[in-house]
């Protein structure tokens, strides 16, 4: 899996305690109740302490691992064992990346069809 990720993606770690949250399309839906200041830094204490997000973005910023967040965070905590976008076990990561790879393949396939 690590080989596959390194071959097909550019893994990036962003420490939101020292860096702003990137302004990329699709990321807003992953923030939940997190509050950002004008420079996109997290300002609420709860998120400063517990904010973990694992996102898979395509080159154009499209979110490839969307999760149902309307009733979050507790729905996914109780049904899947983690908060939305906060997978931490290897099984969760494997499933998340498999779904993201499939989503990216579907997007590329649709783009190829539109270009014909």
Rounded distance between C-alpha atoms, residue 65 and residue 67, angstroms: 6
Percent of the chain with pLDDT over 70: 77
Q: What is the rounded average pLDDT of the residues 26-34?
A: 79
Q: What is the rounded average pLDDT of the residues 7-14?
A: 76
**pTM score above 0.75:** no
Rounded distance between C-alpha atoms, residue 98 and residue 32, angstroms: 24
- Asked if the bond preceding 72 is cis, omega within 30° of 0, the reply is no
Q: Number of folded domains in the chain?
A: 1
pLDDT recorded at residue 19: 84
Percent of the chain with pLDDT over 90: 3
pLDDT recorded at residue 18: 77
Q: Which helix (H) or strand (E) holds 76?
A: helix 74-80
103, 64 Cβ separation under 8 angstroms: yes
pLDDT recorded at residue 39: 93
- The pair of three-digit structure tokens given for residue 9, joined into one six-digit string: 């993606």
**DSSP symbol at 28:** G
- The pair of three-digit structure tokens given for residue 68, joined into one six-digit string: 């149902």
96, 102 Cβ separation under 8 angstroms: no
At 37, the pLDDT band (50, 70, 90 cuts) reads very high
- By residue range, what is the domain housing residue 61? 2-115
pLDDT in tens, 74-108: 666 666 666 666 656 677 777 788 888 888 888 88
């Amino acid at each position: 899996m690590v080989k596959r990720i390194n071959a097909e993606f550019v893994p990036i770690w962003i420490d939101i305690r020292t860096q702003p949250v990137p302004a990329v399309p699709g990321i807003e839906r992953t923030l939940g109740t997190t509050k950002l200041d004008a420079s996109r830094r997290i300002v609420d204490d709860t998120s400063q302490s517990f904010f973990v997000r694992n996102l898979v973005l395509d080159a154009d910023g499209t979110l490839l691992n969307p999760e149902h967040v309307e009733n979050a965070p507790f729905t996914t905590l109780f049904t899947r064992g983690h908060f939305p976008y906060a997978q931490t076990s290897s099984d969760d990561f494997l499933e998340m990346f498999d779904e993201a790879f499939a989503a990216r393949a579907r997007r590329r396939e649709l783009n190829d069809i539109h270009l014909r």
